[in-house]
């Protein structure tokens, strides 16, 4: 099943529980939480306190995207806060195999993220160990940016490797996903679609969720 993962980065935090209700009604599968520390990326968002509040409010699984330095120090805290999926950046983590193993050991699905300038080839020796690969289709740090079309190629490459090596990791895309480009992303081989502005910045959040969900179903 293809999954739609609205990113709460674009949500109205003064009414988060209602916003989560809207995406549930619309048919969202996962809630994407963007954790930024102002160091790995030039922006600061939120941490475990908010993830805990989200997990109290919704039954949807929570996907925590760690855009922080030294993510190893926080993995356990995010699992305790309710994360079902945790992803770390290839560009930040030195002992990636160990970090992926640790996430799994704690009971969450483990993912690796690559920035737009990071090639798929850097993942060749970790792919057999991960549950998912997150392809950034914008430079991480902010919502509302424009999709970088060349990242579609990375999804195709990953889908090809997955088939050839008989692996089973899921492929996730994050950044600039809209109702205009989501079909192309689907056709490239993507399984999980993060969407911030194209869900939460719309007048009718439930309808926007349903529209995107229908396009990938
Ligand atoms: C960007 C974040 C994204 C962001 C996507 O650094 O990782 O998850 O929320 O927002 P949109 O869909 O608006 O590009
Ligand atoms: Zn994200």
51-83 pLDDT, tens per residue?
999 999 999 999 999 999 999 999 999 999 999
pLDDT digits (tens, 9 = 90+) for 149-206: 999 999 999 999 999 999 999 999 999 999 999 999 999 999 999 999 999 999 999 9
First to last CA, the chain: 8
Cα–ligand 1 centroid distance for 194 (angstroms): 7
Q: Ligand 1 — pocket residues by CB below 6 A? A: 7, 9-10, 32, 34, 65, 138, 140-145, 174-177, 194-198
Global confidence as pTM: 0.98
Candidate of 88, 175, 201, 205 to mutate for ligand 1, largest count of ligand atoms within 8 Å of Cβ: 175
Convert 33-45 to b/e letters by CB count within 10 Å (16 or more is b): bbbbbeebbeeeb
pLDDT of residue 54: 98
Cα–ligand 2 centroid distance for 135 (angstroms): 10
Q: What is the mean pLDDT of the chain?
A: 98
Candidate of 194, 195, 205 to mutate for ligand 1, largest count of ligand atoms within 8 Å of Cβ: 194
Convert 183-208 to b/e letters by CB count within 10 Å (16 or more is b): eebbebbbbbbbbbbbbbebeebbeb
CA distances to 14, 17, 23, 167, 208 from 213, rounded to whole Å, are 25, 21, 10, 25, 9
DSSP 157: H
């Amino acid at each position: 099943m293809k999954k739609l993962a609205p990113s709460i980065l674009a949500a109205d935090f003064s009414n988060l529980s209602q916003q989560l209700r809207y995406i549930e009604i619309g048919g969202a599968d996962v809630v994407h939480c963007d954790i930024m520390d102002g160091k790995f990326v030039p922006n600061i968002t939120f941490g475990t306190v908010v993830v805990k509040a989200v997990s109290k409010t919704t039954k949807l699984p929570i996907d925590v995207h760690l855009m922080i330095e030294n993510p190893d120090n926080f993995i356990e805290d995010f699992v305790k806060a309710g994360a079902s999926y945790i992803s770390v950046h290839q560009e930040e983590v030195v002992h990636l195999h160990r970090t992926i193993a640790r996430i799994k050991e704690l009971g969450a699905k483990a993912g690796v993220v690559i920035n737009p300038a990071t090639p798929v080839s850097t993942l060749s020796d970790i792919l057999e160990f991960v549950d998912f690969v997150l392809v950034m289709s914008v430079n991480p740090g902010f919502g509302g940016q424009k999709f970088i079309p060349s990242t579609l190629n990375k999804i195709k490459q990953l889908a090809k490797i997955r088939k050839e090596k008989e692996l089973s990791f899921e492929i996730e895309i994050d950044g600039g996903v809209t109702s205009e480009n989501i079909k192309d992303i689907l056709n490239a081989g993507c399984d999980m679609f993060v969407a911030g502005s194209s869900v939460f910045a719309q007048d009718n959040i439930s309808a926007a969720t349903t529209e995107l969900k229908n396009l990938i179903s």
